[in-house]
């Protein structure tokens, strides 16, 4: 996974960012969807699991999660499952 450690939240809990393309299901057919529409779709699914839109000068198109490193693979699976069910 291509998670990047970012600044901890106000309580000191670790946060990680990942590009939204990493969270999309592999081999999915998006037809006429634009990149912007795909990004919004991933953000909406990630919000249900505590993910938030994350972008700054150095990192665009990201999703941030407050989680410990051992929880990250499970978060990816859950977001992909949510997206597959919406298609």
pLDDT digit string, tens, across residues 8-53: 999 999 999 999 988 888 777 778 889 999 999 999 999 998 999 9
Domain span at residue 72 reads: 4-86
Number of domains in the chain: 1
> Whose CA is closest to 3, among 44, 48, 59, 80?
59
pTM: 0.82
23's CB contacts (< 8 A; 6+ apart) are 42, 45, 46, 63, 76, 79, 80, 83
- Which strand (E) or helix (H) includes residue 22? helix 20-23
Q: Give me 45's structure tokens.
A: 């699914």
Of the two residues 14 and 85, the one the predictor is more confident about is 14
For residue 40, what pLDDT is reported?
93
């Amino acid at each position: 996974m291509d998670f990047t450690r970012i600044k901890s939240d106000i309580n000191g809990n670790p946060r990680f960012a990942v590009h939204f393309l990493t969270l999309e299901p592999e081999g999915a057919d998006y037809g006429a969807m634009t990149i912007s529409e795909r990004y919004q779709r991933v953000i909406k699914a990630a919000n249900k699991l505590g993910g938030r839109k994350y972008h700054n000068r150095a990192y665009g198109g990201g999703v941030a999660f407050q989680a410990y490193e051992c929880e990250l693979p499970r978060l990816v699976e859950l977001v992909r499952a949510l997206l597959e069910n919406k298609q």
